[in-house]
């Protein structure tokens, strides 16, 4: 318990702006290590190693960028949704993804890196987003396949992040995962409707699953022995399971779901392994993954062009919001309190 208290004290001192003196650094590090070992949460004001901070900023930024770039492939179908019900569901889902991006940019801000800087890095290709969003959405069934497989893979990845050692990230994940689980179910339900529909609809659903299956498996990242950041992230308890463990879990979840959907997964090597109590599956084409990562996927350029244009076209909204906030705080120094009262009256 003494170490945990020291950890908090260390954090407070750092927050007060006093640089750790020689010798103190070790004590801070020991307190941080003890807090992580005891499964305590690291909070924004606590002392943390700079490498831990940088790793979190990189991961949270990449996650935030994926949420907002991920709006594009599905938004492509909003105007062509086959019914009002489907359109309403899809719009709600795409809006949820915008919300996820916002929570995550806010989580990164607690580490001292602003949204403006992160967006600039996204737009200039210095930070990445999930490669899965560089594939095109060719038919309406892709909306179902993305919900079932892409959101499904995202949940498998993100549920353990609810226990991540960094408090703001872990707490953001709780709500994100609840919404992702709705996304996954709407995708499954959409595919089920198509699978049980006309032969053409069934074929369209199967084609979408054929195209999205392998990229979904790649979402878990490179195999464990090639994953550069994995071991350190697991030691810091940012990550709780390895890429290969999560990928295996996802495959085992999807196989019975595909059966109930009446669809097949495009892998002739996929079969139950009695000894392991898990499914064996075929080799992943990592050369495709690396090409998409390098920027040579089908939609890399289109995604960034569209994002940058949206950002530029939205500049007046940000300026207006900032001007309004400045005016409000000049007119009413207790603006926060008055906003809250105003909200109650509204
Ligand atoms: Fe999301
Ligand atoms: Fe989602």
CA-CA distances (angstroms) from residue 229 to 40, 62, 113, 223? 22, 14, 20, 12
Percentage of the chain beyond pLDDT 90 is: 82
The residue written with tokens 């009695």 in the block is 274
Q: At residue 276, does pLDDT exceed 90?
A: yes
- Ligand having the closest approach to the CA of 98: 1
What does the alpha-carbon distance between residue 144 and residue 190 come to, in Å, rounded to a whole number? 5
Ligand 2 centre distance from Cα of residue 37 (Å): 31
Has this prediction a pTM greater than 0.85?
yes
CA distances from 336 to 331, 333, 343, 344 (A): 12, 8, 11, 13
Residue 24 has pLDDT above 90, yes or no: no
Give me the mean pLDDT over the 64-88 stretch: 97
Q: State the distance from the centre of ligand 1 to the C-alpha of 155, rounded, in angstroms.
A: 9
Ligand 1 centroid–CA 143 distance in Å is 14
Is 70 exceeded by the pLDDT of residue 270?
yes
Displacement of CA 63 from its chain's centroid (Å)? 4
Do residues 237 and 160 touch, judged by C-beta distance below 8 A?
no
Q: How far is the CA of 280 from the centre of ligand 2 (A)?
A: 27
Give the model's pLDDT for residue 258: 98
Alpha carbons 75 and 78: distance in angstroms, whole number: 5
Q: Helices marked H in 124-264 — which ranges?
A: 141-145, 152-158, 167-195, 199-218, 230-235, 243-261
What's the mean pLDDT in 254-271?
98
Q: Who's near 339: CB < 8 A, 6+ residues apart? A: 328
| Strands in the chain per DSSP E | 271-273, 278-280
pLDDT > 90? residue 142: yes
| pLDDT for position 230 | 81
Distance (angstroms) between ligand 1 centre and the Cα of 240 equals 20
pLDDT tens for 29-53 read 999 999 999 999 999 999 999 999 9
Ligand 1 centre to CA of 181 (Å) is 10
Mean pLDDT value of segment 305-329:
95
- How remote is the CA of residue 180 from the centroid of ligand 1, in Å? 6
CB 72 within 8 A of CB 133: yes
């Amino acid at each position: 318990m003494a170490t945990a208290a020291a950890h908090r004290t260390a954090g407070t001192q750092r927050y007060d702006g006093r640089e750790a003196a020689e010798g103190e650094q070790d004590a801070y590090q020991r307190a941080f290590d003890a807090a992580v070992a005891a499964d305590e949460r690291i909070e924004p004001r606590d002392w943390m190693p700079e490498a831990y901070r940088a790793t979190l900023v990189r991961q949270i930024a990449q996650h935030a960028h994926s949420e907002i770039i991920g709006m594009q492939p599905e938004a492509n179908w909003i105007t062509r949704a086959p019914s009002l019900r489907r359109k309403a569901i899809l719009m709600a889902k795409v809006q949820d993804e915008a919300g996820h991006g916002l929570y995550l940019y806010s989580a990164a801000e607690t580490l001292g890196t602003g949204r403006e800087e992160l967006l600039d890095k996204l737009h200039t290709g210095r930070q990445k987003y999930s490669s899965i969003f560089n594939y095109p959405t060719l038919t309406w069934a892709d909306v179902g396949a993305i919900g079932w497989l892409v959101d499904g893979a995202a949940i498998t990845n993100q549920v353990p992040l609810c226990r991540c050692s960094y408090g703001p990230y872990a707490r953001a994940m709780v709500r994100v995962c609840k919404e992702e689980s709705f996304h996954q179910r709407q995708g499954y339900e959409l595919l089920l409707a198509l699978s049980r529909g006309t032969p053409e609809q069934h074929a369209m659903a199967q084609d979408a699953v054929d195209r999205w299956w392998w990229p979904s498996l790649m979402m878990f990242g490179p195999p464990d022995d090639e994953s550069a950041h994995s071991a350190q992230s697991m030691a810091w308890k940012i990550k709780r399971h390895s890429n290969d463990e999560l990928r295996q879990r996802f495959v085992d979840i999807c196989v019975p779901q595909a059966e109930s959907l009446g669809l097949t997964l495009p892998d002739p090597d996929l079969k139950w392994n009695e000894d392991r109590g898990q499914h064996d599956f075929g080799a992943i084409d990592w050369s495709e993954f690396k090409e998409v990562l390098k920027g040579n996927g089908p939609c890399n350029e289109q995604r960034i062009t569209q994002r940058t244009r949206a950002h530029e076209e939205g500049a007046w909204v940000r300026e207006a919001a900032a001007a309004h906030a400045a005016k409000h705080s000049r007119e009413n120094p207790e603006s926060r309190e008055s906003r809250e009262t105003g909200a109650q009256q509204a």
